Amino acid sequence: MMTMGVTVKDEDRNGNTMLSAAVEGGHVELVRKLAAQGSDVNRPDSEKETPLDKAIRAENQSMITLLRSLGAVTGKSSEPRK
C-alpha cells in the first residue's frame, strides 16, 4: 500500500503507524490487509503501547482475536485475566 509516498511502515510524530490507527478506529479488515502488506503488528508507539494494547483498551474482541492470530503481543498494558 503506497499512496502519495506513504508506506505501511511510516509513522506519525507519536509513533503511530497506519496499522495502529486502523486498530484504534476498529477497522478489522484494514488491519488484516495492512498486516498482509508487511505492517508490524508489534510496533509500539511513543508511549510503548502496541496495537494489541490499543485493542485490549478498546475491548474490541474481534480485533484482539485477529491481532493475536497475527502474532501480536502486548507492550505496556496488562491483559485482563480470564
The pLDDT, as a whole number, for residue 46 is 86
- Grid cell listed for 47: 508511549
The pLDDT, as a whole number, for residue 23 is 97
Could you tell me what percent of the chain has a pLDDT over 70? 87
Enumerate residues 6+ apart whose C-beta is below 8 A from 17.
8, 9, 10, 11, 39, 40, 43
**44, part of any domain:** yes
pLDDT at 81 over 80: no
- Grid cell listed for 27: 477497522
**53, part of any domain:** yes
**74, part of any domain:** no
pLDDT at 2 over 70: no
Summarize pLDDT for 37-56 with one digit per residue, the tens. Answer: 999 999 998 889 999 999 99
pLDDT at 6 over 70: yes
Q: Which CATH number is 45's domain given?
A: 1.25.40.20
Determine the Cα–Cα distance for residues 70 and 42; give it in Å rounded to an integer: 10
The pLDDT, as a whole number, for residue 76 is 67
**81, part of any domain:** no
**38, part of any domain:** yes
Domain that holds residue 23: 18-69
- For the chain, how many structural domains are there in total? 1
